[in-house]
């Protein structure tokens, strides 16, 4: 990692601007809301094992 990247601090995962302490890890309320909407609308998914109950019986 370059010295410039370390000095700039953490970046907002949505827009890549420097994060603000009040909205950490985001830069603003808007980016926090964008992230929340992605979670609530299944924009993000955590990989896991296949659901065995969804399979048809043999």
Confidence class of residue 54 from pLDDT cuts 50, 70 and 90?
low
Query: In this predicted structure, what is the pLDDT of residue 20?
Result: 96
Query: 6 is written with which tokens?
Result: 């370390």
Report whether pLDDT(12) > 90: yes
- Please tell me what DSSP assigns to residue 11: B
With beta carbons less than 8 A apart as the criterion, state whether 25 and 13 touch: yes
**Residue-wise pLDDT tens digits, 17-48:** 999 999 999 999 999 999 999 999 988 888 88
């Amino acid at each position: 990692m370059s010295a410039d990247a370390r000095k700039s601090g953490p970046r907002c995962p949505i827009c890549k601007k420097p994060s603000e302490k009040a909205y950490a890890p985001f830069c603003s309320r808007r980016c926090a809301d964008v992230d929340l909407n992605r979670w609530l609308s299944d924009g993000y998914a955590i990989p896991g094992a296949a659901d065995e109950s969804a399979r048809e019986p043999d």
